[in-house]
């Protein structure tokens, strides 16, 4: 009974407009990164999807840890990170 109720609530929460509320709650809730990824409750979900895919691949290959580095050109309006 409880799992059926949770499944129903989860389906309802994924429908607009409830999804927007659920996304906001999950963005600050102490839930796993995978849950946040499923709901796009992060600032850059496209980056997270790639990182999780790489972590999954590493796990399948028996690698216990991965390092992630983002290479990006600073935006013109951003404060200087490496240059003045």
Q: How many whole angstroms separate alpha carbon 3 and alpha carbon 51?
A: 30
Q: How many whole angstroms separate alpha carbon 59 and alpha carbon 56?
A: 5
* pTM assigned to the model: 0.56
pLDDT band at 18 (very low <50, low <70, confident <90, very high): confident
Across the range 10-26, mean pLDDT stands at 73
Tens of pLDDT, residue by residue over 23-49, are: 777 777 787 778 777 777 777 777 888
Tens of pLDDT, residue by residue over 37-81, are: 777 777 777 788 888 888 899 999 999 998 888 776 665 555 555
Whole-number pLDDT of residue 60? 94
Domain ranges for the chain, please list them: 7-60
Contact at 8 Å (CB) between 53 and 59?
no
Whole-number pLDDT of residue 12? 73
Q: Is the pLDDT of residue 84 over 50?
A: no
């Amino acid at each position: 009974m409880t799992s059926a109720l949770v499944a129903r609530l989860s389906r309802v929460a994924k429908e607009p407009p409830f999804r927007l509320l659920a996304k906001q709650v999950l963005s600050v809730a102490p839930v796993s990164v995978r849950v946040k990824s499923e709901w796009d409750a992060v600032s850059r979900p496209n980056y997270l999807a790639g990182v999780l895919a790489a972590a999954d691949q590493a796990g399948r290959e028996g690698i216990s840890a991965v390092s992630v580095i983002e290479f990006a050109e600073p935006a013109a309006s951003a404060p200087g990170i490496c240059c003045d």
